[in-house]
Amino acid sequence: MRREWLNRCLLLSLAALPLTGCGWVSRPSVSGVWKGSIESSDKRGHKWNGPAELTLNQNGAAITGTLAFTHPQAGRIQVPISSGIVSEGAVTFSGQNQLPMGAIELTFHGKASKYELAGTVEITLRAMLLGAETNPGLLRVQKE
Q: Does 6 map to a domain? A: no
Domain containing 94 equals 26-143
Please write the tens of the pLDDT for every residue from 10-65.
444 444 444 444 444 556 789 999 999 999 988 788 899 999 999 999 999 999 99
When divided into structural domains, the chain yields a total of 1
Q: Is 30 left (phi over 0), alpha (psi -120 to 50) or beta?
A: alpha
**pTM attached to this predicted model:** 0.78
CATH of the domain at 73: 2.40.128.120
Q: Does 36 map to a domain? A: yes
Q: Does 92 map to a domain? A: yes
